[in-house]
Amino acid sequence: MPEIKIDLAKTAGKIKPMNAVNNGPLKSPIDHFPSNFESFKAANIPYARNHDASFFIGYGGEHIVDVHRIFKGFDSDENDPANYIFEPTDEYVKTTIDAGTKVFYRLGSSIEHGFKYGTRVPKDFAKWARICEHIIRHYTEGWANGFNYDIEYWEIWNEADCVHPDGTSPCWQGTPEQYLELYKVTANHLKKEFPHLKIGGPAFCNPYENGENIQKKFLDMIERGEAPLDFYSYHWYGYEVENIADSMREGRRQLDRRGLTSVPTILNEWNYVRGWDRDTMRYSIEMEKSLKGSAFITGVMCAGQHEPVDMLMYYDARPHSMNGMFDFPGLNCLKGYYPFVMFDALAQLGTHIPTRYGTDNIYSCAATDGENYAVMLSHYTDDDKAEGKSVTLKIEGCKNPVKASIYVLDESRNLELTKEEQFSAGSFDVTLDMPLFTSVLLKFQKI
């Protein structure tokens, strides 16, 4: 029987935003259309990155977010507000902010698996940077009948390193050197204009260096001081929690070895993917929407809190195949929604309590506000035939008598309260039945 010791008197800094996502809620303009606005709002999602938003007509479709969709005529005057189409993106941004979620704005283009248009190399990097400047001014300084939103993160492009086996790219139609120049020109211009904002990227497919690849060239450029980097973003998809955790450690290693120790790392696309071929991807998508997918989400959140990463952003809350949070078209909550509710319980407490997060495929994370406590756990492995476990939590350092409430997420329960018990001793045990892919939230409330 696995045992996990949790000393409630030991703390390890703040709970980090491991429960951020890509894309926000849908608030339908017509009453009888589905909406997930209230469910999304209830989960207290801290940030939503708006990459690939243009694929969903409910957000605004072909006119939103991407630079080439807002500023459609590149040869037009970038200083003239009449040449920008802001209204659809205005509505999408407002809906996200109304849900209590901050926008993480990706400047660039949605991925293009077919015809390439938005991912082409801009004809004039300096002008492209000025267009981005006006988009930022619209949303943060009121330019062009705009807003004064608190949008702090501005990311330059997405996955310029993405290359298919046949040599084509769905994200960047230029060379690595052209992307580095685009980043350098844009980041320097935007940082000069907005020194208080976080300008960064580059949303690489992965953080791993391989010879003289673009990751190395990019970070070497930053190390030489040629461009600012207020945050370093990258992606990683996998099927074991340790796969994801290793990418978190690698992203941090690559910055630290260059002396970039103060630059935060953001894993802003991740999900369960066993493989990218057609049949394996079909299985992966099915699992993302299942109880297995929810246990994976819980496990990765627990890992991220312990590992050297500053934010996780799940891909994707947008209604589409890789959304394990909400079904489509009904937008009802799937099993993958509830780990975000669990992690919010920890975030509300605020202070991290360290645990052995990967013991015997049991992933755990804990938090406190000094008087109350919460622990979230999942039983996850990619082996679909693994047996269930009984897990004993050995609780120590409890300051006050507490009421323990146990909430279970399994095939038949959606984080439902299953048991309550009171403890008055400073140390006590709690034994949990953890069938495969089960997740549990324990709340210890001061009596």
- pLDDT tens track for 391-420: 999 999 999 999 999 999 999 999 999 999
Closest CA relative to residue 190, chosen from 146, 128, 261, 143: 128
Give the N- to C-terminal CA distance of the chain in Å, as an integer.
Answer: 30
Instruction: Check residue 13 and give its pLDDT.
Output: 96
Distances in Å between the Cα of 425 and the Cα atoms of 251, 355, 446 are: 42, 20, 12
Instruction: Check residue 377 and give its pLDDT.
Output: 97
Structure tokens at 129: 């940077």
- Dist CA 436 CA 378 (whole Å): 8
Structure tokens at 313: 């952003």
Instruction: Check residue 2 and give its pLDDT.
Output: 84
Q: Cβ of 148: how many Cβ atoms within 10 Å? A: 9
Which residues partner with 376 through β-bridges? 365, 441
Closest CA relative to residue 251, chosen from 291, 299, 296, 218: 218
Instruction: Check residue 437 and give its pLDDT.
Output: 98
- Strand, coil or helix: what is 266? strand
Choosing among 1.10.3720.10, 1.10.10.60, 3.40.50.12780, 2.60.40.1180, the CATH entry for 352-446 is 2.60.40.1180
Q: How far is CA 374 from the centre of its chain?
A: 22
Distances in Å between the Cα of 295 and the Cα atoms of 1, 181, 361, 377 are: 19, 41, 11, 9
The answer to whether residues 351 and 367 touch, using CB atoms and an 8 Å cutoff, is: yes
- Dist CA 111 CA 159 (whole Å): 9
Instruction: Check residue 28 and give its pLDDT.
Output: 75
Q: How far is CA 260 from the centre of its chain?
A: 22
Instruction: Check residue 31 and give its pLDDT.
Output: 65
Closest CA relative to residue 61, chosen from 100, 91, 104, 82: 91
Burial grade of 293 (CB within 10 A; 0-12, 13-18, 19 or more): buried
- Dist CA 234 CA 213 (whole Å): 15
Buried b / exposed e over 203-223, threshold 16 CB at 10 Å, is: bbbbbbbeeeebbeebbebbe
The tens digit of pLDDT for each residue in 167-207 reads 999 999 999 999 999 999 999 999 999 999 999 999 999 99
User: What's the predicted TM-score (pTM) here?
Assistant: 0.97
- Dist CA 364 CA 366 (whole Å): 7
Instruction: Check residue 29 and give its pLDDT.
Output: 66
- Dist CA 301 CA 272 (whole Å): 13
Q: Please determine whether the domains at 16-350 and 352-446 fall in the same fold group of CATH.
A: no
Question: What's the average pLDDT block by block, 10 residues per block, for the chain (447 residues)?
Answer: 91 97 88 88 98 95 96 97 98 98 98 96 98 98 98 98 93 97 98 98 95 94 98 98 97 98 98 94 97 98 98 97 96 98 98 90 97 97 96 94 97 97 95 97 97
Instruction: Check residue 30 and give its pLDDT.
Output: 63
- Bridge-based pairing of strands 389-396 and 3-7 is parallel
- Dist CA 163 CA 356 (whole Å): 37
The answer to whether residues 95 and 68 touch, using CB atoms and an 8 Å cutoff, is: no
- Dist CA 205 CA 160 (whole Å): 8
Structure tokens at 62: 């072909």
- Dist CA 364 CA 109 (whole Å): 37
The answer to whether residues 441 and 374 touch, using CB atoms and an 8 Å cutoff, is: yes
Structure tokens at 330: 């009904």
> Which residues have CB under 8 Å from 91's CB, separation 6+?
60
Q: Cβ of 415: how many Cβ atoms within 10 Å? A: 21
Which residue ranges make up each domain of the chain?
A: 16-350, 352-446
Question: Which architecture, in CATH terms, is 16-350?
Answer: Alpha-Beta Barrel (3.20)
Instruction: Check residue 210 and give its pLDDT.
Output: 86
SS3 percent helix, strand, coil of the chain, rounded to 5, is 30, 25, 45
- Dist CA 293 CA 306 (whole Å): 20
Closest CA relative to residue 44, chosen from 293, 343, 252: 343
- Dist CA 138 CA 441 (whole Å): 42
